[in-house]
Structures are given as structure tokens and as C-alpha cells.
Chains A and B, each alone.
Chain A
Amino acid sequence: MRSRYRILVGLVLAFALIAAACGDDDSAGDTTTTAAATEDTTTTTEAMEETTTTAAAETTTTEAAASDALVVWADESRSPAIIAIAPAFEEATGVAIEVVQKDFGAIRDEAIQLIPTGEGPDVFIGAHDWTGPLSDAGVVAPMNDLPAGTAGDFFDPSLTAFTLGGSLYALPFQMEGIAMWMNTTLAATTDAPATFEDLTTLCDSVLSGDQACIALPGGADAADAYHMFPFQSAFGGSIFTFDPAAGYTADTAGIDEAESIAGVDFMAGLVEAGYIPSYNYGNAQEAFQQGDALFWMTGPWARGDAETGAANSGFEFQVISIPTMEGNTPRPFFGAQGIYLSSQTTQELVAKTFIYDYLATPEVQQALYEADPRLPANKTVAEVVSSDPIVAAFTQSIANGQPMPNIPQMTGDVWDSWGAAMLQVRNGESDPTTALTAAGEQINGLIGA
């Protein structure tokens, strides 16, 4: 806010000054002057408009804090669902809901930057792995007082995902994790392979030429350890120590342990045998959409893309759980998305009323689900949509899963380092032991272990 102010004031001053200097010119009627003068007017008007709004907002803050609108940040797909309940909330409480639409990925950093200045949202949507960074940055308030009755409406894993250091930091509304999209036309069967042996046999029997067996993101030029975690976890590997009750402990990086390496070795075998080409996310999507990949390992967010591809290339598909690997069940990462409460909100009661009494209701949860159908975190909604085979398949797949780390130590650097090691394996540039040992050392250095 403060710096924006200064720049704004500076801009206006500067433009007006240019105009003023031109005004002194002899050729007062020539085109330059006119242009400058016009520019001056527009800038000033715009600036005044913007500043007026700010001024109005400030006045209300000081005079009647309670009647301020509740500012909600949401991404473009979820905004309509929140806008839809705004009138009912305003009628009941007299508090308007102001939904600010943001790019989902931008919300985290903007919240960290803006909330301390008082310019941030009161309530915002976010992913569960932001919990660590957001609470570290002091911009979110815990929701430990979420009534047990309300909490009981949500699946435990979705709440665990948002819990850090014993505190719950968001009300979940959806979960997501990876499974396998299967092109049943190409496979000429709807029988899901139960083991990777079955899967490779199936690929051998039906695929030809350039067709890919498993389109798995995380190859080519894009590091993406997330999509390959099922392999790593199947044999007991993890990134940090994970306990379903206590969550993650950032003791040492687990990716260089024997269990992790065994899983990646298994994957490297498939890579070497040509079952997993070195695709990045875009390549994998394209291959599946063209009908050139038998399986696509990714999450429920790809539903629209899969449907488009199926319609355009004329194939049928289904979603299956990731097959077992030498008798081991893969544990894909799952993620959750939820609604955070700003630590700097001036309207804690209103915000909590909005989250606990309005957003937590099955109706709103249903609307949020429909806005971008992944997997509902709310039990009632899950029951309603359980007849959807895709939702059912993903639910089954992530039932074996574990949440992505939400601890602050899981920085972008850790993801980068891990992803780089996996990328080297995918591109055949390094063997699993070498790559993961190097990445493990790097990660241990990063977390100071």
C-alpha cells in the first residue's frame, strides 16, 4: 500500500509536470502539447478514481469497521460458487462479500506479501501444501475452534492435510491425487491391470510404433517429482518421515533411503524398457489426447482434457487405480484445497461465521465441487457424487495415499532438487542411486539436517 501510494503520487506529479513544462512552450498549440495535455488529463482522472476508492475504503475502516465488506480471494473457477452465496450472507449479516478473482498459483505469494500490509483478503482459497509457508509467514490464523460437528462432516485426511503443529489452518473443500487414465479403446478391454506385470503385458500386446504405454509427466525438460511419487512410495519410500497422525517431520530427506531407491529402480526399469517415455506434462497430455498413450498417470484435474481428447480422437476411457508393483501398493500423494482465514482480518467473527456456518454447509460444498469437480472433501457431497465412476476411481486411488508435505521445510528448492534427480533418471542421464543420493545430500543441506 505505502509503496503503491508513493509511485502513484510520483506518476501523477511527473505527468502533470511534463504537461506544465510544455505549457510554457512557445508553440502552445502544437500537437506535442495537446498530446501531453490529454495524457495528463487521463492520468490524473484515472489516478483520482483509484485513489478515491482507496480513500472511501479507508474512511469506512476507521469509522465503522464492522460494515466493511469481507474480502475473499478465489480463483476463476471457484469465484462463481462464492459469489452465489454472497447475497444470502449479506442479507443475514449485513456484510457484503467482495470476491477478488486471482490466478490460483498467485494467491499464496500475494497473500504473504499483502496481508501484513492490511491490504490482503480476509478469507482466501488455497492448497494444503501452502500451510507451512503461510503459517511461517504469520498470515493465516488457526481454526482449532472449528466445531467438532462441522469437522465431522469432512474426511479426516483432508483435515490432516491442513493441520500443522497441532493446529488446523483451513476448511477443506476438495482433495485430489493421481490415478491412471486408461484408453479402453486402445486397450480393447475395460479390465484394469492389477499389477504392473499385467500392465506391461497389455502394452506389449496392443501397442505399436510410437504409441506410449504410460504417459507420465516429469520427463523431458520439466522436473515433476509429484507424479512419480507412487513409484517411490510403493516400496516404502517417502520424502520426509510421515506419520498419519502427526504428519511430517523434517528430520532428514527420505529420498536417498533404500526404500525410495528401490521404487525408483523399479520405475527406471520401465523407463529403460521403453514403457515410460520421457514426457513432460504437456507431452503426456498430448499423447493421451491423440489416443497415442494407453495410460496417463495424473489427477482428476485432467478430466476436461481427457474428455476433449476422447471426443476429438474418438476413444473411450476409464480411470483405474495404479497397479501394484511387485506386490507393493503405491501410495500417491494427495493434495487438498481449502479456505484459509487471514491472521490480520479486522472481522474475525464475521469471517469465521462465513467459513464455519456458510462455506462448510453441504450446499456450498456441493457448489464448490461443481465449480471444478475433483474429489469432494465433504462427506455429504461425496455421497451425492459417488455414483460418478471417475470420482469413485480417484477416491479409491488416494485412499492408499499420503498428503503432500505441508511443512515449511518443503520449499520450492526441495521440490526442485528432488525433481531434478527424478528427471535425470527419466532421461537416462543418471542411475537412481547416484541421482537420489546427490539430491538427498542437497536436501539435507537445505533443511539444515
Chain B
Amino acid sequence: MTAPSSARSGRFGSLGPGFWFRFGSMAIIDAMALWAMYSLIDQEQWLVMAALAVGAIGLNFIYFSSKTIPLRYIAPGLVFLAVFIIYPIGYTIYLSMTNFDQANNVNKEQATASLESIKVISDDPAEFALTVYEAPDGELRFLLVDDDGATCFGEPRLKTDPPSDTTCESIPLDDPANPPDEIDGSTKLRLIDLVAVEGELLASAIDTPVGEAVVVTASTAQSGQIQRYTYDAARDVLVDNIEETECVPTDGNYVCADGRTLTPGWRIFIGADNYVDALTDQRVGGPLLRVFTWNVIFAVSVVFLQLALGLGLALTLHNVQLRGIKFYRSILILPYAIPAFISVLIWRGLMDTNFGPINNDLLAWTGYAVPWLTNGFWAKVSVILVTVWQGFPYMMLISMGALQSIPTSLIEAAKVDGANGWQTFRKVTFPMLMVIIAPLLIASFAFNFNNFINIFLLTNGGPQLLTYDVPVGETDLLITFTFSLSQNAGRFALAATFAILIFIIVALISAFSFRFTKRLERLYGNL
């Protein structure tokens, strides 16, 4: 670095501890990046490697040029943004444009190899104990011994070579169950040596009097194997050796001339088909409206009730002079402090229809037990109740903070003007509060719109409805519905499509709401 003239840069140029810290950190980052690039080259991931290289060079520039000091503070955020926001969204969009599902999970090479690995065994296969020998010339020799002790010793050929006349010959052995260490100058290979020639063994076949025999395990060989499918790379077709037909790659699967579609298939890019399906196919489109409606009802009522309860408590704690107010405040925050994974499961136990404490007490008092989680209506009430219970402390906290910031002079002025308590709240306190908490309400709405954890842990979307073409539950939100699409039916690409659609819905609602709060701010913000 050349010494710049300004005092600030001069200090950096003086190679103080700050510089050395930066230098050390960047050295580590560069080392990591170089190593990662090296591995990526190994895996032939050129695009990722290029992106990493550009990123690393950019970072070095940012942290060592004196012209980019503000960027130094933003760069970590940008990296997080790229890795945790942009990349997942981009990848989800990509997935939603593929045919990725349970039966289209691998790539074409893997699917082909998988089909090629299917072997049909004839009704009466011959099985042999296999011992492998190494001849003085380094070639392998197989010794096959069948159940009757008949032997067959010879040199294997490649599976791909045409079968010849019997290439192995019967040799006399004293004890066929324990082959000798040496036959005709060939030495027996131990199991441990076979591992090193695994590829060779698997590619080998030996012709016996009962036909071609191939290696199964390190100590067994078998005849009578027929490979069901063979891939013809030149013509890009899969030949079915049993049915004697050909299967042509069609939309991510081999489809045979006799109409069979073979699985596994592979992933292909199909463009916007999933979006069209999601919006028009009655099988998924049918329940969508119902789920969406309940989703909105759930999110709105949860936010509204949380706010009502939280604000009510905040006003009470703000206005009423109580002893031990800190104690009450701490107690009230507990529901928010307990992780959902624990509290929701406890609620599930409490609401158990048969042995739950709530129902036990209800039964004792009223003689009526509420089917909390088993009845559609009550399940909805339950998830709303539990979510409100969980989130009201948050609303209470922010309301208390916001109440502190409202100047008391305004409230006094309202009193002087003759407003009663409700009027003061309605016309002064509440509008001013909304300026502060409206954006948080929107965030809370977006969160509860996708409140996967509570639904999943409490009802798992149930009780299920049987009235649609796909299983959907009374309490299913869009996000849990999407989850079961991927989880229960393995329709990953369609689930990705729904994830994108939900993202768009939430983004639209949020954008609209933020415009609304801007208006609030204009109205009240400058008071």
C-alpha cells in the first residue's frame, strides 16, 4: 500500500494492529477459497468455482483498497445475503422448474446404471464357491467348486467379450472345500487382496459347462444371470433383454415400446409446467382455496388476538400501580421464552382428548369433554389458542416499549380537552402506538402465515378431510400442505412451486401493508 495523505488512511497505512488483523483474516479466507476452488475443479463445478474466484478477488479488493472503506462493513452482510437468501431462493426456483419427485430423483447416468444393475436369475442357477488365484503372468484364475465338489479352474474373460467354449477345466482336488494355496503355479489370493482387484472381478465372467458364471461376492459365483436392461449409448436407447423391446428416453423416464414407463427416472428441466399444474390442476388446485382461506383466518386472528391480549396487559401494567410489577412482567414473558418445541408438545399433552389434564378437569366440572385436537372446529380453536398464548408476550413487550415513548403531555392535553379514558386511547394512544407497532404486526402476520412449527407439532394439519382429491387437513396451512406434498407424496418440484407461490403471496401482502403503514406515519408520525 502506498501511504495516502489523509490522516485516517495514514493510520491504516502505518501497518498497525488493525491492518495486521485484516491481513490475517483475509489470508485465512483466501486460503479457504483457494482450497475450495481446488476441490471444485476436482469436481468439475466450473460455474461455482468461477463465482467463488470472483467473490474472493472482490473481497480482497474491498478489504485492501483504501477507497472501499464503507464496503468493508457491508460486505459480510452481502455474503450472508448471497449464501442464505439469494442462493436458496434461486435453487428453489430452479427446482420448481424441474420434474424432481420421488421417481425422478437421480441424474440420467445414475438412473440408467440403476436399471442396468437389475439382473434376472434363471429358474435354476448354478452356484459356486469361488476362489481367486493369480497366475505368474499377473492374470487372474478362478476356481469354482459346486455343491457336489465338482471343480472348474480357468482364466476368466471380460463380461463384454463373447462367450467361448468352456474355458475352465475340471481339476482333481483333495479337499474341494479347502482349495490349495497353489494350483499350476498360480497362487491363491486372500480376501484382502481381492478388494484391490474389485473392479476387475466384477467385470469378469467365466464359461462353465452350465453356462457363463459371474462373481457375486468375494467367495461366491453364480451362473444363469441375465442383465435385464442394456444401455446403447450410440442410439441413446435402453434395450430390454427379457421382453426384447427398446425403451426410449421420454420426459425424464425410459418409455418402452410396449408402453411401460420404467422407474427410476431422472431430473429434467420442464419450465413452468409445475406452475400451470399448481394453478389449474383440480387435484392440487381444489383444496388450495380452502387452505388459503384458513391460512388467512389463522394469521389474522392470531395477530389480532395476540395484539389485543398483549396490548391489554401492557396498558394494565403501564397504568395500574401494582406491587411486584416486575414479577408479573417476568411471568407474562415466559410463554414467549419457552421454545415452541417444548411448549407446543406440552400443550398437545394437555389437550389430549382421553387423558389430557384439561379434559379431565372439564369432565369433572361439566361432564363434557372437548375434542380439542380431534374435531375440525376445535382443532382450529386449539391451534389459534396455543399460538396466541405463545405470542402475546411479544406484543406486550413491544406495546410497553411503545407506550413509554408516547409523550404524557399529549394525554394530558386530551384530558384537558375533556376526553374520557376510552376516547384518549382511541384517538391518541392507539394511533401513536400503531405507527410504532404496525410494521411489527406485519412481520408477525408474515411469520404466523407460515407458522409451520405450531401446526406441525400440535395437529400436523389434521383432522384430515376426505372431500378433496389430495389429503388435506382442517388446520393445514399452505406451508404444512406444501410440506406434506413433498414428504408424503415425494413431489418435491411441486412443493418448491408452492413455496415460491407462498413467497409471492406473503411478499404482496407485506408490500401492501407497508404502504398502509407509510400512510399511518404520514398521518401521525410527525406529531
- Residues on A lying within 8 angstroms of B by beta carbon are 2-3, 5-7, 9-21, 23-25, 28, 37, 40, 44, 47-48, 51, 55, 58, 62, 65-67, 92-95, 109, 112, 116, 133, 135-139, 141-142, 144-145, 147-149, 166-167, 220-221, 223, 277-280, 282-283, 286, 343-344, 347-350, 352-353, 356-357, 408, 411-413, 415-417, 419-421, 423-424, 427, 429, 435, 438-439, 442, 445-446
Kindly identify which residue among B72, B105, B459 contacts A138, using a CB–CB cutoff of 8 Å: B105
In the complex formed, the residue of A with least CB distance to B125 is: A148
Mark interface residues in B248-290 (1 if CB within 8 Å of A CB, else 0).
0000000000000001111000000000000000010000000
Measured between beta carbons, the chain B residues less than 8 angstroms from A3 are 87, 91
Task: From known contacts A24-B22, A417-B466, infer whether A51 and B35 are also in contact, taking CB-CB under 8 Å.
Answer: yes
CB–CB A408/B107 < 8 A: no
Chain B residues whose CB sits within 8 angstroms of the CB of A148 once the complex forms: 125, 127
Which of B178-186, B193-201, B319-327 lies at the interface? Answer: B193-201
Kindly list chain A residues whose C-beta atoms are within 8 Å of the C-beta of B385: none
Q: How far is the CA of A112 from the CA of B113 in the complex (A)?
A: 16
B48-A2 in contact (CB<8A)? yes
Q: What's the minimum C-beta distance from A307 to chain B, rounded to whole angstroms?
A: 21
Which chain A residues lie closer than 8 Å to B411 at the CB level?
none
Interface residues of B (CB under 8 A from A): 12, 16-19, 21-22, 25-26, 28-29, 32-33, 35-36, 39-40, 42-43, 45, 48, 52, 55, 59, 63, 69, 72-73, 75-76, 79-80, 82-84, 87, 91, 102-103, 105-107, 110-111, 113-114, 117-121, 125, 127, 191-192, 194-196, 198, 201-202, 215-220, 222, 225, 263-266, 283, 352-355, 371, 373-375, 379, 459, 462-471, 484, 487-490
Chain B residues with Cβ below 8 Å from A278 are 353-354, 374
CB pair B463–A10 under 8 Å, yes or no, is no
B263 engages A135 (CB within 8 Å): yes
Question: Besides A12-B29, A223-B462, A279-B354, 12 other CB < 8 A contacts?
Answer: A18-B76, A23-B22, A24-B72, A25-B18, A37-B21, A58-B42, A62-B42, A93-B191, A135-B264, A283-B352, A352-B216, A415-B488
Decide yes or no: A93 and B218 within 8 Å by CB, A420-B464, A446-B469 being known contacts. Answer: yes
Contact among A144, A220, A421 with B352 in the assembled complex (CB-CB below 8 Å): A220
The answer to whether B103 touches A344, judged by C-beta atoms less than 8 angstroms apart, is no
Residues of B close to A67: CB separation below 8 A: 195-196
Q: Is the CB of B117 within 8 A of A141?
A: yes
Whether the pair B195, A283 counts as a contact (CB closer than 8 A) is: no
Indicate the member of B114, B201, B468, B489 with the most A CB atoms within 10 Å.
B114
Residue in A13, A24, A116, A344 whose beta carbon sits within 8 Å of that of B59 in the complex = A13
Whether the pair B84, A353 counts as a contact (CB closer than 8 A) is: no
B84: A residues at CB distance < 8 A: 7, 10
Q: Total number of A-B contacts with CB less than 8 angstroms?
A: 280
A349 touches B194 (CB 8 A): yes
**Could you tell me the distance between the alpha carbons of A44 and B103 in the complex, rounded to whole angstroms?**
39
A117 to B374 alpha-carbon distance, docked (Å): 41
Contact B216 A145 (CB under 8 A): yes
Contact status of A112 and B102, CB under 8 A, knowing A343-B113, A420-B471, A446-B469: yes
Instruction: Report whether B121 and A349 are in contact in the complex, using a CB–CB cutoff of 8 Å.
Output: no
The complex places the Cα of A23 from the Cα of B63 at a distance, in Å, of 11
Residues of B close to A166: CB separation below 8 A: 120
CB distance from B256 to the nearest CB of A (A): 14
Sorted nearest first, the 7 A-B pairs with minimum C-beta distance are A138-B264, A412-B488, A10-B83, A23-B21, A420-B464, A438-B466, A221-B373
Cross-interface CB contact of A17 among B79, B107, B373, cutoff 8 Å: B79
- Inside 8 A of A65's CB, which chain B residues have their CB? 198
> Given contacts A16-B25, A343-B110, A408-B103, are A23 and B118 in contact (CB under 8 A)?
no
Contacts A2-B43, A412-B487; is A136 near B222 (CB within 8 Å)? no
User: 20 A-B Cβ contacts within 8 A?
Assistant: A6-B48, A9-B32, A10-B82, A13-B32, A13-B33, A24-B12, A24-B22, A28-B16, A67-B195, A116-B106, A116-B110, A141-B117, A348-B198, A352-B217, A353-B218, A356-B216, A356-B217, A411-B489, A423-B463, A442-B470
Is the pair A141, B114 in contact by a Cβ cutoff of 8 Å?
yes
* Interface-central residue, B18, B195, B462, B463, by most chain A CB under 10 Å: B195
In the complex, chain B residues whose CB is within 8 Å of the CB of A48: 32
Expressed in whole angstroms, the minimum distance between the Cβ of A439 and any Cβ of chain B is 5
Given the interface contacts A137-B103, A420-B464, A427-B374, does A10 sit within 8 Å of B114 by beta carbon? no
The complex places the Cα of A58 from the Cα of B195 at a distance, in Å, of 19
Give Cα distance in the complex from A96 to B72, angstroms.
48
B195 touches A416 (CB 8 A): no
- Nearest CB in chain A: distance from B58 CB, A: 11
A139 near B484 with CB under 8 A, answer no
Q: Is the CB of B459 within 8 A of A14?
A: no
Partner among B35, B114, B263, B470 whose Cβ is within 8 Å of the Cβ of A413 = B470
B75 and A142 within 8 A (CB): no
In the complex with contacts A95-B195, A413-B471, A416-B471, A20-B39 CB distance below 8 A: no
Cα A21 to Cα B118 in complex, Å, equals 57
> Are B106 and A139 in touch, CB under 8 angstroms?
yes
The residues of A that contact B118 with a CB separation of less than 8 Å are 142, 144, 167
Docked pose: A377 CA to B26 CA in angstroms? 59
In the bound complex, do residue A94 and residue B195 qualify as a contact, i.e. CB atoms below 8 Å apart? Answer: yes
Inter-chain contact B463/A420, CB cutoff 8 Å = yes
Q: Are B195 and A93 in contact (CB under 8 A)?
A: yes
> How far is it, in angstroms, between the C-alpha of A280 and the C-alpha of B488 when the chains are bound?
21
CB <8 Å contact, B32 and A220? no
B42 cross-chain contacts in A, Cβ below 8 A: 58, 62
Q: How far is the CA of A58 from the CA of B33 in the complex (A)?
A: 17
CA distance A148 to B147 in the complex (A): 12
Q: Which of B22, B111, B488 contacts A416 (CB 8 A)?
A: B488
Asked if B192 and A94 make an inter-chain contact with CB atoms under 8 angstroms apart, the answer reads yes
Q: Is the CB–CB distance between A2 and B490 below 8 Å?
A: no
Nearest CB of chain A from residue B474's CB, rounded to whole Å: 10
B217–A137 touching, CB < 8 Å? no
Contact status of A92 and B191, CB under 8 A, knowing A145-B121, A413-B489: yes
In the bound assembly, the distance between CA atoms of A342 and B524 in angstroms comes to 65
Q: Which residues of chain A are within 8 angstroms of B127 by Cβ–Cβ distance? A: 147-149
A93 to B, closest residue via Cβ: B191
A28, B11: Cα distance in complex, Å: 13
Residue of B with least CB distance to A166: B120
Inter-chain CA distance A167–B26, complex, in Å, is 55
A54 to B355: give the CA distance in the assembly, Å.
50
Partner of A147, one of B103, B216, B489: B216
Contact between B488 and A411, CB atoms less than 8 A apart: yes
A362 to chain B, nearest CB (A): 17
Complex contact B32–A442 (CB within 8 A): no
Query: Complex: how many Å from CA A62 to CA B470?
Result: 46
Distance between Cα atoms of A438 and B118 in the complex (Å): 39
Asked if A343 and B117 make an inter-chain contact with CB atoms under 8 angstroms apart, the answer reads: yes
Instruction: Give the chain A neighbours of B12 by CB distance below 8 A.
Output: 24
